Amino acid sequence: MARSVDPTTTDTSPAEPPPMKRNKFFALANRSSTPRPTLSKTEVSLYLNQPCLQEDGDPLGYLKAKQPEFPVTRLVAKYLAIPATSAPVERLFSTASKLFGPERCNLSDKRFEHLMMIRCNPQ
């Protein structure tokens, strides 16, 4: 089972170096494309120059129809959506009623706004 090794045979072909791996960071930096801010500004200006939707029009249908033309409509649908529940508003009113109770009825509007901001946005 032992293999015989012939000492007279040698491998004379030079060892080829492994292929160079490109750093992904530099690959992204070398890619030439249209600068995104310019493209976004153009897209937004085109979007704003579109004729307004009629009052009885379907805004979701309009956004779906314009999505290939304006990819920014995905952001519009995401950030301008109306919440399906009123739970956040109810929590806000509950916090306000606890904060602006009978013992604190002399708070100024500005102070009340600041306290609500602190209570509702803890970080």
74 with 98, same domain: the answer is no
**Which of these three, 79, 96, 112, is where a domain ends?**
79
46 with 64, same domain: the answer is yes
The confidence score (pLDDT) of residue 20 equals 60
The pLDDT of 30-34, averaged and rounded, is 57
Q: Convert the pLDDT of each residue in 71-115 to its tens digit.
A: 777 777 777 777 677 788 888 889 888 888 877 778 888 998 998
54 with 71, same domain: the answer is yes
Query: From CA 4, how far away is CA 1, in angstroms rounded?
Result: 9
- Global pTM reads 0.33
Residue 72 buriedness (CB in 10 A; 0-12 / 13-18 / 19+): middle
Query: From CA 76, how far away is CA 96, in angstroms rounded?
Result: 30
Domain membership of residue 3 (yes or no) is no
Query: From CA 91, how far away is CA 81, in angstroms rounded?
Result: 19
Residue 22 token pair: 């490109």
The confidence score (pLDDT) of residue 26 equals 61
Domain membership of residue 98 (yes or no) is yes
71 with 103, same domain: the answer is no
Q: Are 119 and 95 in contact (CB under 8 A)?
A: yes
41 with 75, same domain: the answer is yes
The DSSP code for 67 is T
Higher pLDDT, 74 or 116: 116
For the chain, where are the E strands, in sequence order?
Answer: none
The confidence score (pLDDT) of residue 72 equals 73
Domain membership of residue 93 (yes or no) is yes
> Is the pLDDT at 27 greater than 70, yes or no?
no
Number of domains in the chain: 2
> Is the pLDDT at 50 greater than 80, yes or no?
yes
Full domain range(s) for residue 59: 37-79
Domain membership of residue 2 (yes or no) is no
Domain membership of residue 94 (yes or no) is yes
Q: Are 95 and 104 in contact (CB under 8 A)?
A: no
